[in-house]
Structure 1
Amino acid sequence: MVLEASILVLDNSEWMRNGDYTPTRLEAQADAVNLIFGAKTQSNPENTVSLMTMAGKSPKVLVTFTSDIGKILSALHNVAIGGQVSFTTSVQIAQLALKHRQNKNQRQRIIVFVGSPVEEDEKTLVKLAKKLKKNNIAVDVINFGEEAENTTKLEAFVAAVNNNDNSNLVTVPPGPHLLSDVLVSSSIVAGEDGSAPAYVSSGGGSYEFGVDPNLDPELALALRISLEEERARQEAASGGNKTEGGADASSTGAATGSTDAAATAAGGAGSAMVTDDDLLAQALASSQADGDHDMEGLTEEQEMQRAIQMSMTGNDGSAGSANKGGDFDEAMQDPDFMNSVLGSLSGVDTTDPRIQNVLQGFSSASNNTGDKPKDDKAKQDEDKKDDESK
């Protein structure tokens, strides 16, 4: 990184009122000053920048060498338009200001904005350039506004002051572009490797995240770190999803013990993983298949009997806590109880012959089992019927 002291020489003549550069020549120049100041101070924290004007009653130094962007912006706000420029006088005053810089280890550079006609002839400019080169002062010239008239003179001036390509001339014709748009990719703003500073974007010299690192370096650093962390998190998440897809597929197949489920999950490793909804749908389909299998080969009355039994027992075929063992069998044999239960169900007609056949089927099935003991009254009735038949 080059350790350098730069002085920006501004054109504030009457010509700077023109609007051929967006929004005016003066405001386009101020935007470029902000861009160059950021580029210089960003390349090396010990770099300093000074600011002066060329027109008015006489050239004037507005800000001495500083790294505080606030002083530069305040001075730009107070620049007044008026008078004509004196190129040679302004450059000589800038050379004198560089001589009094505090850090003598800093290289010397003058950056001149020329937006009005240069009155000096080419011979005078070349003579001044040789003097600057002798004092190891580099000069960058930004030629805009009156570039057709000034280009030849300024090319001769830069060629005379140039020493090992340390001086540059950038000519910017008028157009819809911003002045800073052209400068951001020029050799004036570019670093030693020829690339623009990292915080400078190609859209008008705005700062990364919209924050000037010179005004608020802590916020700019925090935003940059946050962006890097978010990128790292997204990369880790995208890589983790690919790895977890195969692991979850294997674990799902092992846990369910189902060949079809394992094949589905393994086949979906490259796509979407099996969700809870998918597993629930599989379970419902399996339970429905089991129920259909159990009902196969049954008549309509047998299906109705099974439905009644399941409604009065648990899903596993066991009776509820109030209807276990003999109590449940007795309830099934009680016609009044069964009629009351079926009558409480909506849409069930207890007088339907099919229902009556089902109830009789319960009674006959229970009698065939012989498990239910007969009470004394029922036994007496049977004995009486046997005696009569005899």
Structure 2
Amino acid sequence: MDFPTTDGEDLIRVRPLKALWHIELNRPRVLNSLSLAMVRQLARVLDAVQQNPQVRCLLITGSGPKAFCAGGDIKWVALQVRSENRAEAEAFFHEEYALDLAVHRSSKPVVVVAHGVTMGGGLGLAAGADIVLATETTHMAMPETRIGFFPDVGSTGWLYAKCPAGYPEYLALTGDDVLGFHAVRVGLATHAVESYRLPDVLRALQDAAPALTPERTTAQKELFELMASVTRPEAIPVDAATDTWVRSYFDGVSSVPELLENLSQCQMQSRLCEGVFRRLSERSPTAVALTLALLKVQRGRPLEEVLAMDERVARWIIQHHDFWEGVRARLIDKDNRPRWHPARYEEVRSFGPLDPFLQNPPGQEQARRPIK
């Protein structure tokens, strides 16, 4: 089944393979980034899967060799805000987060093949899956602070449930890349498999789907047993030195200026410190400080509350100077010279505790719709 838009483009493709339904994101020219129409189509298919008793498992992949999903179409969002069509931009976040929650709450197990670029909203889809397959081409990151945005899709909550100590703060604040099978090491993927073996893995999944228990928790255990026989746990790398460094500098970090001061004086892994110091210095101070405040507030909260806060924060930050400036500099003009305001971390408001609940400017606040 294809889901064409009015211009005839098939944004997603659905292949009902008896007990296994396969969704393929189909915008390869833009690394399968999510549009509002695409989110809506995905939500319809996910709902159909929940209603169909013959479906025992859902598989989600990306079209083309380069990406599973590079995230939400943030350039489109920025242009909507710029043209004063804020309602469409807000609808995108509301419906994207509702889709992410629906994946987490699916009654059927979900498998994601995180082949190639898997960032932002792509990680949001993968985060709710039972099985996330990383290949040697996998390239994961939450790079939003680089464009004056923040790591959303619930990540400031679920990173703590998936990653070793220090990595939630490290990944969210720096936006640094996680490559290949390291995605399994840091908790963003569950299994490692070489890309040439994916057809075999997917055939095994299709063959096993009809016998899966029609209850997600038990079916997840059955899928893990299957994956143990067709993936390569021995390929998952070990990097104790980096893990220790991340834990030492990022676990429980209290403020961005303090973090920068520590990085500027570090003796352990000095090249890592210098690189992270430089990258943090290039990012929007407002976005990074806001991200740290969210990490502190969202940790341990129910996912519904995390996503509801994300929606409030998204409505606030898309009106901030740094959001348009970041999108302009990185995605439109591509001069890579954003002019942040304020430009120094010491000048950024504290956002503590997310004051005042990140409401929109007076006269623009709207009633918050519940994430369903």
Q: Normalised by the shorter chain, which TM-score bucket?
A: under 0.3
Q: Larger RCO: Structure 1 or Structure 2 (Cα < 8 Å, ≥ 6 residues apart)?
A: 2
Bigger radius of gyration: 1
Give the TM-score of the pair, scaled to structure 1: 0.22
| Higher share in helix | 1
Q: Give the alignment's TM-score, normalised by structure 2.
A: 0.22
